[in-house]
Amino acid sequence: MGGLRAVWLGVTSADIRQNNRAHFILSFFGLRVVTYGMQLEPVDPELPISIRDEDAVSDDVPNARKIKKKTAKRLEKLTALQAKLYGDGRYAVLVVLQGRDASGKDGTIRTVFGACNPQGCDVTSFKVPTPLERRHDFLWRVHNVVPPRGIIGIFNRSHYEDVLAARVHGIVGKPIWMSRYDQINDFERMLIQNNVIVLKFFLHVSRAEQRRRLLKRVEEEDKNWKFREGDLDDRRLWDDYTDAYHDMLRRTSTKEAPWYVVPADDNKVRNYFITGIMVRALRKLKLRYPNADPNVLLRAEQILTV
């Protein structure tokens, strides 16, 4: 008999929350699943990874009013947790922000990490390597700016440019950039073994939204100074970069240092997800303020009562 066939899909809530298997199955059939308030889960390299344009928008969030309220509460918690991290002094946190041009890296730093005390937060932007940096191994300049314990360090772009731009623009050959995946994993594993928590965010923006933002960057005086001709070159290489990002996520999302693919077409949704992950990660550290020296407290009490 001809006609339509009904297909039943068995999906449990555990699948949705643990490894996004449900999202993959439903997207395979052109369907979407809505689970409001769900947290982003780390990339599982054993599962298919989707970074299509439609993945740059998420239905898995509350409405705009609730997002604003929840994000504000998370930012308050982040402020308090960062103060404890600074006082505790046992851990450092390395945040890697990677994404296409105009994906929102600067906005994330300004909005999310603007909640942090500047004394306990460092931002490093990686540009084209200098002649001295090119004479060293590609991780030399990176290790030099890894945050010390007590500090949140943010990389605006990162060592991952050496498996992205270096690959897409043919700066190095395939044997070299292929070998760098394992070198990066080993490097990050070493950091983690030395109490550096590594959180990696791929800010995923769609082609249409990037176009809108780049046009705005050209037209507005407070933004057009950021514009560079290379932004247009990279846009023409969109598919090549997509392949490079896909391999980056698959080969370097580890249990110790996972990647999170953040839907970044909507800035408020982006901030909602990133603040949630930051708060969860810092809470897991069981941070505590150090004990005050009782002799100092006694001395202070004696002096201040006069």
The tens digit of pLDDT for each residue in 137-149 reads: 999 999 999 999 9
Percentage helix, strand, coil for the chain under 3-state DSSP, each rounded to 5: 55, 10, 35
Residue 199 inside a domain? The answer is yes
pLDDT over 90 at 60, yes or no: no
The tens digit of pLDDT for each residue in 178-201 reads: 999 999 999 999 999 999 999 999
Helices (H), 198-237: 207-219, 221-224, 229-236
The single-letter code of the amino acid at 180 is: R
Residue 25 inside a domain? The answer is no
Provide the b/e sequence for 53-66 (b: ≥16 CB within 10 Å): eebbbbebbeeeee
Residue 227: the pLDDT is 75
Phi, psi of 305 (to 5 degrees): -85, -10
Q: List CB contacts of 208: < 8 A, sequence separation 6 or more.
A: 53
Q: Supply the mean pLDDT for the chain.
A: 89
pLDDT over 90 at 8, yes or no: no
The CATH number for 122's domain is 3.40.50.300
Stronger pLDDT, 306 or 98, i.e. the higher one: 98
Residue 256 inside a domain? The answer is yes
Instruction: State which residues form the domain around 240.
Output: 56-290
In this prediction the pTM is 0.86
For the chain, what's the residue count? Answer: 306
Residue 37 inside a domain? The answer is no
- Of 33-37, 44-48, 97-101, 237-241, least confident by mean pLDDT is 33-37
Residue 31 inside a domain? The answer is no
Residue 38 inside a domain? The answer is no
Confidence of residue 38 (pLDDT cuts 50, 70, 90): low
Residue 16: the pLDDT is 43
Mean pLDDT across the stretch 151-165?
Answer: 98
Total structural domains in the chain? 1
- Of 34-38, 258-262, 280-284, least confident by mean pLDDT is 34-38
pLDDT over 50 at 244, yes or no: yes
Residue 159 inside a domain? The answer is yes
Percentage above 70 pLDDT, the chain: 87
Confidence of residue 15 (pLDDT cuts 50, 70, 90): very low
Residue 34 inside a domain? The answer is no
Stronger pLDDT, 59 or 234, i.e. the higher one: 234
Residue 231: the pLDDT is 74
